[in-house]
Structure 1
Amino acid sequence: MNRRSFLKTMGITSVAAGGFGTAYAMRRNPYYQGPVSDHFDGLRFFNPGGVEPPGIIDLARWQVTSSASPWPEAWPQKTTSVLPVERVSGDDLRATMVGHATILIQVGGVNILTDPVYSRRTSPVSFAGPQRVNEPGVRFEELPPIDLVLVTHSHYDHLDLATLERLHANHDPLVVTPLGNDTIIRSAIPAMRVHAQDWGDVTEWGPVAIHCEPAHHWSARSLWDRRMALWASFVVETPAGNIYHVGDTGFHSGINYRAAREKHGGFRLANLPIGAYEPRWFMQSQHQNPEEAVQGMMLCGARNAIGHHWGSFQLTDEAVEQPRQDLHAALSRAAISQERFRALLPGDAWEVPVDRLEDSLGQSMLFR
């Protein structure tokens, strides 16, 4: 079954999950009960001043009018698999692309895995749905000890219960995730250590602090739980500099990027999504494109950036290489070096450079 047939018959993938859930039959949130806030109405979460995700009519229009570019069954022809170092220390910051939004971040003696997906498909079923076209850039058996896992939201290409179960059995990491996703994880893996955060919360773990910050997106695992678990980005405050990890987001006029810079003062590294953005009329409110990702890099004050969420699973209409091509064109227009904003392939590892500034006394300071 191909991608379009699956969408038409199931109506749920990591991109359009819950697109049919506009009939609010469920009046109780099964994942989270808490006070009303500026982004929770007592039943569902929402983006303040933002745009709701498209519904069934727009989804049907996309499927009828779609002119998706065909993807190869395997790309690139040979995927590099690397053996990471066990840990890094001092000012070192090492990022290794596993695939899609899964990045191994090693900093300050701590190993962090973002949105880990090792499954063959990003789907509620094992026999259909988007299938990866490359192997993970780090074999699961060759992961170093994983201390922390960051899960940004509940879509299947970010919250993969099968992978989390393997991580629990082999590494027993602490999972940090937005409100409601902890219930989803614990329902499948009761013994997993999970800490749920609201926007603005901070959790300390050893030498790092994990801040939960807004993103303009949404969530769903089925037809009926649309926006019932929170979505977020994360800021990881480390002795070697701040790291900004954004799983999925619409650009939202750059509001969240500006707020992140105002609050955290800039970043040594930002992991920003650059894929799953075509057609724009359907995707633009929830998925930024590479041009917007470059704007986001500048607005949040990131010295370096990794482009992720591309090249592993075909979720939308653009060709497999288009995100990287569009990113390079956007960087050229902004006069930013491609060395500073890299669209990593699975198996690519980057020793993120240290930028040092001179303070008024001439003393060297680490940019963070």
Structure 2
Amino acid sequence: MPRNRYYQGPPSDHFDGVRFFNPGQSPTDRGLGDVLRWKLARGAARWPSSVPVTPAKPSPRVDGLRITMVGHASLLMQVAGRNILIDPVWSERVSPVSFAGPKRVAAPGIAFDDLPPIDVVLLSHCHYDHLDVATLRRIQAVHAPLMAMPLGNDTIVRAAIPGARCIVGDWWDTLSLGSDIATTLTPASHWANRWPNDVRMALWAGHHLDTPAGTIWFVGDTGYGDGAIFREVRARLGSPDVALIPIGAYEPRWFMAAQHVDPAEAVDIFRDVDARRALGIHWGTFQLTDEARDAPPLGLAAALAASDIPPDRFVAAVPGGVYDY
């Protein structure tokens, strides 16, 4: 029987003693045959090699709540005088190697040297487009922040950055980030790995932040499934003031539906939790899947119109975009 290299703990309703899983949801595992079927279909839209980005230059501190889009799932959250980075990636590629893999189309919405002092880094899972060791090393060298993440991810981070200050939790655990700010790790229907032989050995999650300036929910990568996990988030934690919801990386649906929502399902999540506002993330920076680069915001606009939701309540975030709440 294989051994989990990242986490050793008792079995639970989403951990079998070796691998984590999504209880009651469609399986996310895909074999080589599935990957070949997808890639040989040659259905991927052609993306531009680059798009224009006007980087923002953040203030050192913000008393209220300001979110600046870096790109993909990387955001700077400035809340109640604290600076929090989520899934930071400044690398040119998201891959185990620097010379191959999905390449950045949109430059970071904040130049690395323009970052304000970073107090906290939140990580959602260990896929390379979310946990980028090269970026984390740079952040550690300059800012030495507290890093909060789901079970098992700390082993990956500590192996690469021995001095990292990591705190970890399971789904529904609440972790203190200091200064009256805490994150509750929320379930997501996804998976994680760094290599072919460590699939689902580290947990994946969202982050629901309780702060003096409001509540913010970073949904994390997820399929929609039966929607039960989102309704449970609202029941347990209430409706967030701002939800950060993925809208991209969803085609072809036969391959992606169990692990990534499409724009219509993103709107379903928005409605399930009754969020006051939302930003659409996880699109337009790295071509991971088949849809055209502009398909996610177009799909989001159509889904909002179909649900009679004003478009200013759920906006597709662009790199360098600054959003005040």
TM-score bin, normalised by smaller chain: over 0.9
Asked whether 1:40 is paired with 2:15, we answer yes
Q: Extract unaligned runs of 5+ from structure 1.
A: 1-25, 353-368
The count of corresponding residues between Structure 1 and Structure 2 is 323
- Decide which of 75, 81, 84 is 2:55's aligned counterpart: 81
Please list, as runs of the form range in 1=range in 2, the aligned pairs for 1:191-270 lying within 5 A after superposition.
191-204=163-176, 205-270=178-243
Query: CA RMSD, aligned part only?
Result: 0.9
The Cα offsets for residues 35-75 of structure 1, whole Å up to 9 and x where unpaired, read as 01001000000001112222222111111113100011012
Please list, as runs of the form range in 1=range in 2, the aligned pairs for 1:295-306 lying within 5 A after superposition.
295-306=268-279
Q: CA deviation at 1:110?
A: 1.1
Between the aligned partners of 1:296 and 1:314, the Cα distance in structure 2 is 23
Equivalent residue number for residue 117 of structure 2: 145
Q: Is the 8 A contact 1:200 1:211 kept in 2?
A: yes
Asked whether 1:272 is paired with 2:245, we answer yes
Identity of counterpart residues, as a percentage?
A: 53
Equivalent residue number for residue 156 of structure 2: 184
SS at match of 2:46: coil
Q: CA deviation at 1:257?
A: 1.0
Between the aligned partners of 1:55 and 1:264, the Cα distance in structure 2 is 36
Q: CA deviation at 1:213?
A: 1.1
Equivalent residue number for residue 320 of structure 1: 293
Equivalent residue number for residue 350 of structure 1: 323
The Cα offsets for residues 140-165 of structure 1, whole Å up to 9 and x where unpaired, read as 10011111111100100000000000
Asked whether 1:30 is paired with 2:21, we answer no
SS at match of 2:226: helix
Equivalent residue number for residue 26 of structure 2: 51
Equivalent residue number for residue 45 of structure 2: 69
Q: CA deviation at 1:310?
A: 0.3
With normalisation by structure 1, the TM-score equals 0.87
Between the aligned partners of 2:268 and 2:254, the Cα distance in structure 1 is 19
Equivalent residue number for residue 165 of structure 1: 137
**2:69 aligned partner, one-letter code:** M
Between the aligned partners of 1:70 and 1:206, the Cα distance in structure 2 is 46
Equivalent residue number for residue 364 of structure 1: none
Q: Is the 8 A contact 2:103 2:287 kept in 1?
A: yes
Between the aligned partners of 1:324 and 1:59, the Cα distance in structure 2 is 26
Equivalent residue number for residue 108 of structure 1: 80
Between the aligned partners of 1:276 and 1:119, the Cα distance in structure 2 is 19
**1:159 aligned partner, one-letter code:** L
Between the aligned partners of 1:240 and 1:289, the Cα distance in structure 2 is 30
SS at match of 1:295: helix
SS at match of 1:156: coil
The Cα offsets for residues 195-227 of structure 1, whole Å up to 9 and x where unpaired, read as 111111111122201101100000010010000
Between the aligned partners of 2:194 and 2:42, the Cα distance in structure 1 is 24
Which stretch of the first structure deviates more once superposed, 193-202 or 154-163? 193-202
Between the aligned partners of 2:153 and 2:121, the Cα distance in structure 1 is 13
SS at match of 1:256: helix
Between the aligned partners of 1:298 and 1:66, the Cα distance in structure 2 is 34
Q: CA deviation at 1:88?
A: 1.3
Q: CA deviation at 1:247?
A: 2.1
SS at match of 1:339: helix
With normalisation by structure 2, the TM-score equals 0.98
Between the aligned partners of 2:19 and 2:2, the Cα distance in structure 1 is 10
Moved over 6 A (4+): none
Q: Is the 8 A contact 2:25 2:226 kept in 1?
A: no
Q: Is the 8 A contact 2:83 2:116 kept in 1?
A: yes
Between the aligned partners of 1:257 and 1:50, the Cα distance in structure 2 is 13
The Cα offsets for residues 86-138 of structure 1, whole Å up to 9 and x where unpaired, read as 1111xx21010000000111111111111000000000000000000111000
**1:208 aligned partner, one-letter code:** I
Q: Extract unaligned runs of 5+ from structure 2.
A: none
**2:187 aligned partner, one-letter code:** P
